[in-house]
Amino acid sequence: MRQSTLDMDDLRKRRSLVITRKEAAEALGVDPRTITTSINEGTIPHVKLGRRIVTPREKFLALFADERQEDQ
Residue-wise pLDDT tens digits, 1-23: 456 688 888 889 999 999 999 99
Domains annotated for the chain, with CATH where assigned, are 8-71 (1.10.10)
Asked if 11 contacts 61 with a C-beta cutoff of 8 angstroms, the reply is: yes
Q: How confident is the model at residue 41 (pLDDT cuts 50, 70, 90)?
A: very high
Tell me the pTM: 0.79
Residue 13's contacts (CB-CB under 8 Å, 6 or more residues apart) are: none
